[in-house]
């Protein structure tokens, strides 16, 4: 169907954008470590960056396997799940950073919040292509951060967590809508192609 081919195109776009995804992840990780240098344990930072690199290396191997095999339409959902697992792991790693490297300084806390929200927003045009990958990245990255800020317990942190939760709601709504628009446009393109082919067939028959 046109919808199935649209979903296949979306999965293909995920794999085609692997290099941009990696650049976004690694640049964000470098900025976060720079921001938190002296505020968080260097051992935690080293372990976290190592896991980020390992996840991106696995996704790179997955992207190369996709290019080599060129899976057909029937296998697209399975390859979409593979990529979504990598996205969820990446999101969980960013969420873990908020928990294990949360700084004591309010100024550095603000920088941590900006970094993690920036990574999610910066990757929105890449992850929103495929809904499971989008939710798999955004929720594990931001929910632990919001919970950790709220855990501080004072009024300012609670209000900050509330604002962050509202922003997360807007991000989810925007990503959902962006995915719907892209899916509909791709499906309509395939429907138009099918209609043109049908009309050509009728013309030849006439």
Residue 195's pLDDT band, with cuts at 50, 70 and 90, is low
Q: What is the pLDDT of residues 80-128, one digit of tens each?
A: 899 999 999 999 999 999 999 999 999 999 999 999 999 998 888 788 8
Q: Cβ neighbours of residue 32 under 8 Å, at least 6 residues apart?
A: 97, 101, 112, 115, 116
pLDDT at 199 over 90: no
Contact call for residues 84 and 136 (beta carbons, < 8 A): yes
What confidence score (pLDDT) does residue 203 get?
A: 66
Under a CB-based contact definition with an 8 Å cutoff, are residues 126 and 23 in contact?
no
pLDDT of residue 155: 93
The CA R_g of the chain, rounded to the nearest whole Å, is 20
Could you give the 3-state DSSP secondary structure of residue 163? helix
Positive or negative: CA dihedral 87, 91, 92, 94 = positive
164 contacts 145 by C-beta, under 8 angstroms: yes
Of 111-115, 170-174, 175-179, least confident by mean pLDDT is 175-179
- Give Cα separations from 41 to 60, 93, 120, 198 (angstroms): 29, 16, 24, 64
Could you tell me where the DSSP H helices lie in the chain? 2-16, 18-36, 42-69, 76-100, 106-122, 124-127, 131-151, 155-205
53, exposed or middle or buried, with CB in 10 Å at 0-12, 13-18, 19+?
A: middle
Instruction: Give residue 185's pLDDT.
Output: 79
Task: For residue 48, give every residue at least 6 positions away whose Cβ sits within 8 Å of its Cβ, in sequence order, or none.
Answer: 29, 93, 96, 97, 100, 101
Mean pLDDT, residues 160-175: 95
């Amino acid at each position: 169907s046109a919808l199935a081919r649209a979903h296949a195109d979306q999965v293909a776009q995920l794999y085609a954008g692997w290099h941009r995804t990696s650049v976004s992840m690694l640049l964000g990780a470098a900025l976060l470590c720079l921001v938190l240098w002296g505020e968080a344990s260097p051992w935690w930072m080293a372990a976290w960056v190592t896991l980020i690199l390992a996840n991106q290396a696995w996704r790179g191997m997955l992207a190369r396997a996709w290019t080599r095999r060129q899976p057909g339409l029937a296998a697209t959902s399975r390859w979409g799940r593979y990529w979504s697992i990598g996205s969820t792991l990446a999101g969980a790693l960013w969420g873990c950073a908020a928990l294990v490297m949360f700084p004591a300084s309010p100024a550095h806390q603000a920088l941590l919040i900006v970094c993690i929200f920036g990574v999610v927003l910066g990757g929105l045009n890449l992850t929103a292509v495929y809904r499971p990958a989008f939710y798999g990245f955004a929720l594990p990255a931001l929910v632990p951060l919001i919970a950790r800020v709220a855990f501080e317990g004072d009024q300012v942190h609670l209000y900050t967590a509330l604002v962050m939760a509202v922003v997360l709601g807007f991000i989810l709504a925007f990503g959902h809508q962006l995915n719907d628009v892209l899916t509909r446009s791709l499906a309509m393109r395939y429907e138009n192609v099918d209609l043109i082919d049908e009309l050509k067939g009728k013309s030849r028959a006439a």
